[in-house]
Amino acid sequence: MPLGDSITLGGNGGYRNNLYTGLQENNCGVSYVGTLFDPSTRVADKDHEGHSGLTIGNIASNVNGWMATTQPNIILLMAGTNDTAWWTAENAEQIGARHNALIEQIRTARPNAWIFVASIAPQASAIIQPNNIDRAVLTQQFNAVIRRNVDARIAAGQRVRFVDVNAALTTADLYDGIHPTEAGQAKIAQRFLDAIRAALGPA
């Protein structure tokens, strides 16, 4: 289940195209699941759970129903861009706590599933209110909290892994200061592919 916001939806399938092809090239059977169907996706499998504009809270409010419908055994979670890009009264720790609660919610609903948790893409510098903070800085702070929380889950033996999407991108990979270009989406796909291979590939 590719799960997230407009970056998961992507243009013409976004990272889902390259990831699908990459998994097939690695002899990995793959079937995307989700309650959404994107006819513009370039690969044959067009199902996903990428909802434009959704925040962490929006995803949390709906994800149990989505998972009950589709029964995913692998979840690719990338969420938080809409919590950091436009307006927020929270700091990175508070946003990260809600993000961590979402991970736990997914684990509770699908206890045997693998959850690949991505950092979010960098954002072009802009001061957002009411915190009067540069969203570029807030993004990096938030990603550090995600990594810390996921590392704790890994140490506890959970089927959760960190995917450092942010490290693969710069603002040059964004077409509007927020959303990755097609080339940027390909870099995201490679990070997910590497993480899936490391966790689930042959020994």
Mean pLDDT calculated for residue range 131-160: 97
Q: Would you say residue 196 has pLDDT above 90?
A: yes
Q: What is the pLDDT of residue 27?
A: 86
Q: What is the pLDDT of residue 182?
A: 96
Q: Angle, nearest 10°, between helix axes 182-200 and 15-25?
A: 40
Report the alpha-carbon distance of residue 59 to residue 62 in Å, rounded: 5
Output phi, psi for 124, to 5 deg: -65, 145
Q: In this structure, what token pair is assigned to residue 158?
A: 């959970």
Q: What is the pLDDT of residue 130?
A: 95
Instruction: Please name the residue that has the structure tokens 């690969």.
Output: 43
Q: What is the pLDDT of residue 113?
A: 98
Residue 110 identity:
R
Q: Would you say residue 203 has pLDDT above 70?
A: no
Q: In this structure, what token pair is assigned to residue 48?
A: 């996903």
Q: What is the pLDDT of residue 28?
A: 86
Q: What is the pLDDT of residue 150?
A: 98
pLDDT tens per residue, range 21-76: 999 998 888 999 999 999 999 999 999 999 999 999 999 999 999 999 999 999 99
Q: What is the pLDDT of residue 40?
A: 95
Q: Would you say residue 202 has pLDDT above 80?
A: no
Q: What is the pLDDT of residue 92?
A: 98
Beta strands in 58-181 (DSSP E): 74-78, 114-118, 127-128, 133-134, 160-163
Report the alpha-carbon distance of residue 80 to residue 117 in Å, rounded: 11
Q: What is the pLDDT of residue 29?
A: 85
In the sheet with 160-163, reading across from the earlier edge strand, the strands are: 36-37, 47-50, 2-4, 74-78, 114-118, 160-163
Q: Would you say residue 134 has pLDDT above 80?
A: yes
Residues 6+ away with beta carbon under 8 Å from 11 = 40, 182, 185
Q: Would you say residue 201 has pLDDT above 90?
A: no
pLDDT tens per residue, range 86-131: 999 999 999 999 999 999 999 999 999 999 999 999 999 999 999 9
Residues 6+ away with beta carbon under 8 Å from 56 = 79, 80, 83, 95, 98, 99, 102
Report the alpha-carbon distance of residue 123 to residue 128 in Å, rounded: 12
Q: What is the pLDDT of residue 81?
A: 98
